Structure 1
Amino acid sequence: MNTPQKNTHWALVTGASAGIGSEFARELAARGVNLVLSARRLDRLNALADELKAKHAVAIECISADLADPAAARALVEEIHHRGIAIDVLINNAGYGVPGKLTAPAWQEHADFIQVLMTAPVELCYLLLPGMQQRSYGRIVNVASLAGHMPGSAGNTLYGAAKAFLIKFSQSLALENSSRGIHVCALCPGFTRSEFHDVSGARGVVSKMPDFMWMNADVVVRQGLDAVERGDVVYINGRVNRLLRFFGKHLPDRMALKMIQRQSKRFRVQDGK
């Protein structure tokens, strides 16, 4: 195991092998935070770790985990403890989208999605919070989405619902721990340039969105880490996204749903039943 260098804090980043997760790893390493990187693809984690150790004086551990497995979150935390590491910063980033309407995929795809995007983040918080509380220090970023603030869309049926859950969960967790030196933030980016849309099969659809709708992953991450450090409980990246959230919140429900219904085909894969 690597020996920690300048910083005694350790961060766990889930879904760290690509996209926003790898940018969290890069930014945290640049800030001197030691890292536990977790994802399914250990080869990509090791390559990222080599890159970061060459640039920054931080310790890095890589642990393969598939959070779709109901036993994975607890096994991940047990392995971290076995390696003698106490996690002070938790980045619940692992996630993806299931394209199509509700009955298009097999149920197991939805069950795995719920496990990865909802159950696993909550369980990781549940398992790691006691240590943070004992040390009177903790930072938790739950990567949600602008979609969690907007009306539901046709296609990717569970995505907005899961992200809305993360936002409400983060708010409650923040209130419960605000006096204990622990900051919790639901980070809500909009369209972000990363591998996310390739994995979900939506690249061909979302590539038609105008350039001003997009943000770079490194900017999203820097803003998110600054937000949780300030104590922001919910942070929406970008003025355009904050404006969209304003309209989504204040338009009458019927009007907002009609608008999303017309626009869903521009950013959601709707093939299937």
Structure 2
Amino acid sequence: MKTALVTGASFGIGKAFARELASKKMDLVLVARTQNKLQQLATELKDKYAIATEVIALDLSEPSAGKTLFDKVTASGLNIDLLINNAGFGDYGAFCDRPLEKQLAMIQLNVSTVVELTGLFLPVMKQRGDGAIVNVSSIAAFQPIPYMSIYAATKAFILNFTEAIWAENKDSGVRILAVCPGPTESQFYDRADFPDSMAGMNDDNMDSPEAVVRETLAALEKGQSTIVTGGIGNQIIVNIPRFIPRDLLVNAVGKQFKQ
């Protein structure tokens, strides 16, 4: 039986990945900060699907947390066939008004830990000639977003990084995919400290985590480098920057996100 490692598995897209992969009879290594939520999910999936589950409670925003996780997995004798780099968070507000420590933690989690985990697991998969890595980006990756400047920049990094290593490894037997969801039902907006006045700005066009996961796994099977999930609205958003002068684009996005 194959094994998947899912970061940020306690809610949202990560939790949906865990449930979908369990239904496909994959053993799971579930990673997030909260032990209790992970354990509840692991027990549920183990009982329902008769799979093996491993829970690792770890704050991946800490420096070298990726190496710590890799070492724990290796020490357990587990071979990871599918790595889902899902853990991440955003933050709302003008850069100069937000806590710098939170911005740096966001870069650590959204970028550095993803690179670290990819860099540790990819050589093992490549040596076996088999495996897959999914890095969760966002439609925010396709343009700068004032008042979410660091978040959008981290997701742009993940998109470019993932597409590049997809090209480097497409003949190795290892599939690599960047998934770019639009607004998705999750705790993202709460953790990002969105003001109440903006809390419902995406309610009408939010995708379910389950839909994002289904589209992602289908794209992975096809060997794609990138998938923008959701409907035509998300496709329009990611393609508009090709046709609009950048100053005009950033000003327009800034007006949309300004409180």
Q: TM-score range by the shorter chain?
A: over 0.9
Match of 1:189 in 2: 181
State how far apart, in whole Å, the 1-side matches of 2:255 and 2:92 are.
Answer: 17
Per-residue CA deviation, residues 43-102 of structure 1 (Å, 9 max, x unaligned), is: 100000011112112111000111111121101110101111011111000011122111
In the TM superposition, structure 1's runs of 4+ consecutive aligned residues that sit over 6 Å from their partners are none
Match of 2:171 in 1: 179
* Alpha-carbon distance, 1:203 to partner: 6.7
Match of 1:3 in 2: none
Match of 2:47 in 1: 54
TM superposition score normalised by structure 1: 0.90
State how far apart, in whole Å, the 1-side matches of 2:249 and 2:93 are.
Answer: 21
Match of 2:201 in 1: 208
Aligned alpha-carbon RMSD (Å)? 1.3
Corresponding residue to 2:3 among 3, 10, 14: 10
State how far apart, in whole Å, the 1-side matches of 2:124 and 2:195 are.
Answer: 40
State how far apart, in whole Å, the 1-side matches of 2:239 and 2:203 are.
Answer: 20
State how far apart, in whole Å, the 2-side matches of 1:163 and 1:206 are.
Answer: 21
State how far apart, in whole Å, the 2-side matches of 1:89 and 1:44 are.
Answer: 22
Match of 1:89 in 2: 82
**What SS does the aligned partner of 1:224 have?**
helix
Match of 1:138 in 2: 131
Q: 1:210 to 1:11 in 2, by over 3 A?
A: closer
Q: Does 1:253 align with 2:250?
A: no
Match of 1:122 in 2: 115
State how far apart, in whole Å, the 1-side matches of 2:188 and 2:233 are.
Answer: 20
* Alpha-carbon distance, 1:41 to partner: 0.2
Q: 1:250 to 1:210 in 2, by over 3 A?
A: farther
Per-residue CA deviation, residues 170-219 of structure 1 (Å, 9 max, x unaligned), is: 011101111111111110001001111122122731413351x2111100
**Percent identical residues:** 38
State how far apart, in whole Å, the 2-side matches of 1:71 and 1:144 are.
Answer: 21
Task: Name whichever of 251-260 and 114-123 sits farther off.
Answer: 251-260
Q: 1:12–1:36: 8 Å Cα contact kept in structure 2?
A: yes
* Alpha-carbon distance, 1:26 to partner: 0.5
**What SS does the aligned partner of 1:225 have?**
helix
Q: In the alignment, residue 59 of structure 1 is paired with which amino acid?
A: A
* Alpha-carbon distance, 1:39 to partner: 0.5
Q: In the alignment, residue 89 of structure 2 is paired with which amino acid?
A: Y
Q: In the alignment, residue 213 of structure 2 is paired with which amino acid?
A: V
Q: 1:92–1:142: 8 Å Cα contact kept in structure 2?
A: yes
State how far apart, in whole Å, the 2-side matches of 1:26 and 1:97 are.
Answer: 24
